Amino acid sequence: MIQVSLHYIAHNEKPGAPLLLLLHGYGSNEQDLLGLAPYLDARLMCVGARAPYALDFGGFAWFNIDMRPEGIDVDFDEARQSLQQVFALVEALAAEYQPSKLFVGGFSQGASMALAVALQQPDRFAGALALSGLYGEALMPEDRETVRGFKVFVSHGVQDPVIPIAQARAAQALLDPLGLDMVYNEYDMPHAIDQACLEDIAAWLRARLDE
């Protein structure tokens, strides 16, 4: 038996279907991103996972953050600990549901987690979504050749007051040398997923399912 410490809930539960694992942002919970599910391809089974660290004011986090005027400072050591729990969940979901394709996506710090999980185990995933997130050198894959051509959708709002667009562009510059098959889109939105972004997410996933 695979031990899993992360709580999760499923939408459109269908063994053998393509599966999208969704990782929420700081202070949220496993239900948050499942609100996207009705707007995505009906073939997808979506799973929302709850981050392991409970916050004093409510909600959960994948790792601690420090808000500074120039942007967010991340505790990447804590993030790496959470990664191990996500890896265990992915293994459990794959064993239980036997998905035809497996995707991982996240918002804000969940985007950091999703990208790190996918790039460290690229053979397991058909693609990753990183929405309004942040990425650092500490989460880069050890073997960078293995991720060449891996499919990634990245979105960020130019009006984002939480993770400034400058940080998103710096993260993109860090990812560029990896040779990913990456769509990077900026939107006129704050720290959010607006209608245009949602439509692009849905179209990108549909294209991956049709491959």
What CATH number does domain 8-210 carry, 3.40.50.970, 3.40.50.1820, 3.20.20.80, 3.30.470.20? 3.40.50.1820
> Would the pLDDT of 2 be above 90?
no
> Would the pLDDT of 4 be above 60?
no
Q: Model confidence over 142-155: pLDDT tens digits?
A: 888 899 999 999 99
Mean pLDDT over each residue of the chain, to the nearest integer: 92
Sequence-separated contacts (24+) of 116-121 with Cβ below 8 Å: 116/79, 116/83, 117/83, 117/86, 117/87, 117/90, 118/150, 118/152, 119/147, 119/150, 119/178, 120/83, 120/87, 121/87, 121/90
Q: Model confidence over 86-114: pLDDT tens digits?
A: 999 999 999 999 999 999 999 999 999 99
User: Domain segments of the chain: what residues?
Assistant: 8-210
Least confident of 3-7, 112-116, 127-131, 172-176: 3-7
| Global confidence as pTM | 0.93
